[in-house]
């Protein structure tokens, strides 16, 4: 766990509690204590783990969050619409560096997504070499033909516009038009394109888990710090 040593106003601004210019006012309004002693000097250098605000410990220096993403929410900082970051506490939206999603889910896709301000972690988990398992519940427009699992498991399926075949994917049938699909890649619209390649269309897509992180205990729109 990080425990940086820097000015009080630097701690507060990097974690989104206030800007540096607002720090003096913040210290007057809120009881900011270091080792039990109230602090009013924004220049005072302290360790992150020693700071308490109104009897509550500071947010972590690096933050990673698991969210149950609702439909209609956009995984972007810049696009028009309801952005995923708007579902988080206001101060988390002001953190520096910014929180970013680890990969993306389409606007109409629901389920497990991670957000972090740890750039190294984000890069590691989105790298093509990461081999992170993602489990999806897929609802289809047409009943299954029966050969989809064999095709997906074979490791020979080449998506339109691609040159290399996909890695093997596991499919479990839930009903004639609902399946669980486990993939370890993250190509653009991969699940939708996989079913398009076998003559079907995805009508609803829900990510049940990302790696070891499942949202089974999170309601739609809820999140938790990892």
User: pLDDT (tens digit, 0 to 9) for every residue of the chain, 226 residues total?
Assistant: 689 999 999 999 999 999 999 999 999 999 999 999 999 999 999 999 999 999 999 999 999 999 999 999 999 998 889 999 999 999 999 999 999 999 999 999 999 999 999 999 999 999 888 889 999 999 999 999 999 999 999 999 999 999 999 999 999 999 999 999 999 998 999 999 999 999 999 999 999 999 999 999 999 999 999 9
Token output for 71: 């439909």
| 110 lies in the same domain as 219 | yes
Residue 106 known to be catalytic: yes
Task: Show the domain range for 193.
Answer: 134-210
| pTM (two decimals) | 0.91
- Options 41, 50, 79, 106, the catalytic residue: 106
| 41 lies in the same domain as 79 | no
CATH number of the domain to which 106 belongs: 3.30.70.580
Residue with tokens 């952005």: 83
Total count of domains within the chain? 3
């Amino acid at each position: 766990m990080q425990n940086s040593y820097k000015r009080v106003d630097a701690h507060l601004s990097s974690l989104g509690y206030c800007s540096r210019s607002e720090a003096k006012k913040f210290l007057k309004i809120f009881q900011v204590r270091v080792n039990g002693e109230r602090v009013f000097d924004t220049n005072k250098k302290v360790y992150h783990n020693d700071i308490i605000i109104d009897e509550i410990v500071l947010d972590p220096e690096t933050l990673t969050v698991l969210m149950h993403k609702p439909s209609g929410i956009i995984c972007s900082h810049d696009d028009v619409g309801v952005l995923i970051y708007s579902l988080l506490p206001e101060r988390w939206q002001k953190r520096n560096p910014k929180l970013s999603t680890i990969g993306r889910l389409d606007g109409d896709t629901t389920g497990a997504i991670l957000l972090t301000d740890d750039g190294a972690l984000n890069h590691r988990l989105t790298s093509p070499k990461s081999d992170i398992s993602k489990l999806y519940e897929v609802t289809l427009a047409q009943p299954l033909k029966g050969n989809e699992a064999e095709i997906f498991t074979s490791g020979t399926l080449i998506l339109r516009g691609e040159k290399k075949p996909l890695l093997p994917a596991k499919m479990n049938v839930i009903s004639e038009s609902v399946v669980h699909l486990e993939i370890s890649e993250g190509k653009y619209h991969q699940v939708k394109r996989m079913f398009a390649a076998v003559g079907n269309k995805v009508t609803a897509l829900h990510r049940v888990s990302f790696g070891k992180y499942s949202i089974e205990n999170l309601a739609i729109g809820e999140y938790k710090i990892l």
